[in-house]
Structure 1
Amino acid sequence: MNFSTLGLFLLAGGASLFMAWVIGAGSSGATPFAPAVGANAISTMQAAFFVGVLGFLGAVLQGGNVTEAVGSGLIRGVSLTPPAVILALVTAAGLMAVGIATGYPIATAFTVTGAIVGAGLALGGLPAWSKYAEIGLMWTVAPLVNAGLAYGLASLLPREDVPERRSVPTLAGLTGATVSLIGFALLGPGGTSRSIAATAAALGPVESPTGALAVELSVIVLFALVSALVVRFWIVADQERGLRRFLLVLGSLVAFSAGGSQVGLAVGPLVPLLDTVEVSLFAVLVGGAVGILVGSWTGAPRMIKSLAQDYASLGPRRSISALLPTFLFAQAAVALGVPISFNQAIVAAIIGSGAAVAGGDGVSRSKMGRTLGAWAGSFLLAFAIGFGTLSLL
């Protein structure tokens, strides 16, 4: 490795850190706790602190799948060069910074994907159509599924014939079961991810496949049962306080999931350069996690306020309705290694839960329209800058 190669990698790493900061300040730093802040369950500054720590942990423990997909799955036939990496990251981060300054949640996955695909095609790469179809499906399904589930939950929770001492613990049980199935990098052999339930089955005394499956199912049921009983105890003791506690738990899980998904958008473009400079993927993940942490602490409060106050007036019930579908979808995307935008997912969920309020009076339609335009425009602009600039050079 010569000094020129090292210098270019350091420049690309600096651009990646900038992108990680922007993600922490705008996407993963703002969206997880915005509904909780809107429900007065936590202050804006407290939310920024906790989301930074949880995002850091998620990035380190879950960030590998999406990072590798962004780094090597968007273009076929060529690898991104250091100048292409720098251009793609600066372009995407610049557009995200504009969103932060104006208070609009630009979709991170749109800008990063657009910039990388544009730069890769300009280098002579071939489109990865199968991956684009997969990503496009996730981007299309995310707002529809999140909004639909959030609307359904927000319509269900206030009903008198569905007591919250039963409905909310049921949702908590579903959340606990999902946590037992989350893959963690430290639990799998050889650096691979493995869930808590699968780890218990692998370490258990039963060696037959049937016995291992029984152990895994038992762990899932145990997590679900304990989660449901704890939340039921909270609800019975003090209903409003119990709802806010469960809301904070969901916000924490979404923040963790955001770190696992979004760090790949910041450090994924560096993957083609790692063999050249002999840097491990884990070290890059830690660097990206630090950038997200700092971004959450220093830049997230503005976006948290924007999402909590401008998009919908949500109480704890509708906030729970917005966060639970987002958490489930985020973990599915992380497991599949598909980059998604948390801004897109959470804003869609906020729209769905807010629409359950008097036919949608809790949602700012004009701001929703401008946000949708910003998402589409940022993808096209990032693609045009990445492709056009490298083509000229």
Structure 2
Amino acid sequence: MTDTPDWRSLDKDLARLTQVERVAGYVVRPLLGLGLALAFMALAGLATALVLGTAPTTVMVAIAAVFGAYLALNIGANDVANNMGPAVGAKALPMGVALLAAALAEITGALFGGSEVVATVSRRLIDPTSVADPAVLVQAMMAAMMASALWVNLATWLGAPVSTTQTIIGAIVGAATAAVGFGAVDWLTFGGIATSWTLSPMIGAGLAMGLLALVRHLISKREDKITAARCWVPVFLAVMGGAFAMFFALKLPDRYADPSALEALAIGLCVGGVCYLIARPMVQSRADALEQSKGAIKALFRLPLVIAAILMSFAHGANDVANAIGPLATILRVTAEASAGHHPAEVDAFAPLHVPLWALLIGALGMAVGVLLFGPRLINMVGSQITKLNPIRAYCVSTSAALTVIVASWLGVPVSSTHVAVGAVMGVGFYREHTAARDRARSAEEDRPGLPREDRSRRRLVRRSHVLTILAAWLITVPVAAGLSALVYGLIHLIAG
């Protein structure tokens, strides 16, 4: 009599092997991402050396290109959450599709809209005449890139979305102060910029709360939601289309368009009207197949939300590629002028810069690679771990972020898209808490004396721990970036000797 095989033992062994493979995957995956990131940085430096050939400054610029690639990777990993987080949190896009769409949009925006980098912030913050030696300026820019990348990398690892613009400004101020002294910085201008960083998240939160309250009043709380949706959803979508048209008109580089405030408003109104004409029959057709429920109304906002996320990624690539390669472009300009034998005083290091295509590719590809390798962590944070989003709430976040940037651009105030977007997410969450508490009080169900504190905390719709982490990161970004940049500059200056 032959022995029958014990299949149960085999199943247990296979289960153990599957568990081991799963654990190994969790361990290897981060190392794979790190390896690919290091390989990209090395390729950026090698490509720069091949392009420049045997020039005397090749090694220095190649090292700067490595720093620029490192910064671009971290900008892509951190800032993509502002654009794709609401769409992923609202389940309008799966994570994989969102990462791929964001990467392609970032590359397209950087290549089409980022070929002219103007060091506006540097010119306003730093007195160009105070930096007479090109070598000092090169070392300061390299220190600013390295310090910015290190801080954004740490913030991404901690799960805190921070402003890369805020980081690079703090790093430039720190490096310039260490190199020249406090007199090189226009502290009044810096104070105005810092004030805008404080106000912008509150403005974004207020606009998002107002939009959500309006949607609830006009559609969600109506008995006949379908009729209300037929009437108002095309209007909301037209507002979003007009807002993004003005956003693009004001934020894309001047060589594409340089409209005045009134011209941008006219563009927005025209695009908004076209969006209304397109959206109305689509919403009418879709609404006929929907039921009288809030969930059905949310579906009407899903496609516009996806389009908004892609447009925000495009605009981010066009606008923020300067944060990654602006210092690199400055180094290229300064070293080229110095090699030509120009006197240091004749080198206007903060003049408008034309970025070579190979340098632009480093920034564009770096942000795309950063999105693909390290984007999910911050997308999950912004999209689902601060508060729960659905298509309607995510629409309010995206539209209010665009409107806040538009208003700030009209006023000439630099704001952080990170602060605005995350502030809008927080505003939506706190508004939901407020309305939920008010509804409970009206129905007299639970909000009565003696309700346990633990029970009250469980009913919060905004996760306080994540909010406090983000706020703390915002508060310390500038001083940490400045101090780290000054330290890195000191080390570079000491090594260069």
Give the TM-score taking structure 2 as reference length: 0.67
Cα RMSD after superposing both structures: 3.1
2:161 alignment partner, SS class: coil
Q: How far does residue 344 in structure 1 lie from its aligned partner after superposition?
A: 1.8
Q: How far does residue 17 in structure 1 lie from its aligned partner after superposition?
A: 1.3
State the distance in 2 between where 1:253 and 1:149 align. 20
Match of 1:97 in 2: 153
State the distance in 2 between where 1:268 and 1:337 align. 20
Q: How far does residue 292 in structure 1 lie from its aligned partner after superposition?
A: 0.9
State the distance in 2 between where 1:269 and 1:327 align. 27
Q: How far does residue 66 in structure 1 lie from its aligned partner after superposition?
A: 6.7
**Candidates 373, 387, 390, aligned match of 2:472:** 373
Q: How far does residue 146 in structure 1 lie from its aligned partner after superposition?
A: 0.3
- Is 1:230 the counterpart of 2:295 in the alignment? no
Contact in 2 for aligned 1:234/1:241 (Cα 8 Å): no
Match of 1:38 in 2: 89
* CA distance 1:264–1:67, change in 2 (3 Å): farther
Match of 1:206 in 2: none
Contact in 2 for aligned 1:70/1:269 (Cα 8 Å): no
**Candidates 105, 114, 120, aligned match of 1:69:** 120
Q: Which runs of 5+ in 2 are unaligned?
A: 1-51, 288-296, 337-352, 436-459
1:356 alignment partner, SS class: helix
Match of 1:176 in 2: 241
State the distance in 1 between where 2:252 and 2:191 align. 31
Summarize the alignment of residues 103-114 of structure 1 with structure 2, pairs less than 5 Å apart: 103-114=159-170
Q: How far does residue 134 in structure 1 lie from its aligned partner after superposition?
A: 4.2
State which drifts further: 136-145 or 312-321.
136-145
- Counterpart amino acid of residue 89 in structure 1: M
**Candidates 61, 65, 68, aligned match of 1:9:** 61
- Is 1:21 the counterpart of 2:79 in the alignment? no
Match of 2:422 in 1: 347
Match of 1:208 in 2: none
Residue by residue, what CA displacement relative to the aligned partner does 1:294-328 show, whole Å, maximum 9, x if unpaired? 11122111211122221110111111111111123
State the distance in 1 between where 2:253 and 2:465 align. 46
* CA distance 1:58–1:288, change in 2 (3 Å): same
- Is 1:383 the counterpart of 2:482 in the alignment? yes
Which of 1 and 2 has higher RCO (CA within 8 Å, sep 6+)? Answer: 1
State the distance in 2 between where 1:102 and 1:21 align. 16
State the distance in 1 between where 2:407 and 2:111 align. 18
- Is 1:136 the counterpart of 2:183 in the alignment? no
Match of 1:209 in 2: none
* CA distance 1:185–1:127, change in 2 (3 Å): closer
Summarize the alignment of residues 153-302 of structure 1 with structure 2, pairs less than 5 Å apart: 153-159=211-217, 160=221, 163-181=228-246, 182-183=248-249, 192-194=255-257, 220-236=268-284, 237-238=286-287, 239-277=297-335, 280-281=354-355, 283=357, 284-302=359-377
**Candidates 137, 144, 169, aligned match of 1:88:** 144
- Counterpart amino acid of residue 370 in structure 2: G
State the distance in 2 between where 1:218 and 1:148 align. 25
Contact in 1 for aligned 2:146/2:485 (Cα 8 Å): no
* CA distance 1:118–1:187, change in 2 (3 Å): closer
- Counterpart amino acid of residue 36 in structure 1: A
Residue by residue, what CA displacement relative to the aligned partner does 1:64-97 show, whole Å, maximum 9, x if unpaired? 6775224544311326622222221111111111
State which drifts further: 161-170 or 339-348.
161-170
- Counterpart amino acid of residue 45 in structure 1: G
State the distance in 1 between where 2:253 and 2:106 align. 19
* CA distance 1:187–1:74, change in 2 (3 Å): closer
State which drifts further: 282-291 or 158-167.
158-167
State which drifts further: 307-316 or 65-74.
65-74
Residue by residue, what CA displacement relative to the aligned partner does 1:77-122 show, whole Å, maximum 9, x if unpaired? 3266222222211111111111222222233223221111100111
* CA distance 1:258–1:9, change in 2 (3 Å): same
* CA distance 1:218–1:4, change in 2 (3 Å): closer
* CA distance 1:144–1:115, change in 2 (3 Å): same
Residue by residue, what CA displacement relative to the aligned partner does 1:165-199 show, whole Å, maximum 9, x if unpaired? 333322322333344443499996xxx2316x89x
* CA distance 1:81–1:4, change in 2 (3 Å): farther
Q: Which runs of 5+ in 1 are unaligned?
A: 199-212
Give the TM-score taking structure 1 as reference length: 0.84
Q: How far does residue 281 in structure 1 lie from its aligned partner after superposition?
A: 1.8
* CA distance 1:296–1:221, change in 2 (3 Å): same
Match of 1:204 in 2: none
Q: Which has the larger radius of gyration?
A: 2
Contact in 1 for aligned 2:252/2:319 (Cα 8 Å): no
- Counterpart amino acid of residue 197 in structure 2: W
State the distance in 1 between where 2:233 and 2:93 align. 20
Contact in 2 for aligned 1:135/1:338 (Cα 8 Å): yes
State the distance in 2 between where 1:133 and 1:357 align. 34
2:92 alignment partner, SS class: coil
2:83 alignment partner, SS class: coil
- Counterpart amino acid of residue 146 in structure 2: V
- Counterpart amino acid of residue 274 in structure 1: L
Contact in 1 for aligned 2:106/2:367 (Cα 8 Å): yes
**Candidates 171, 174, 177, aligned match of 1:121:** 177
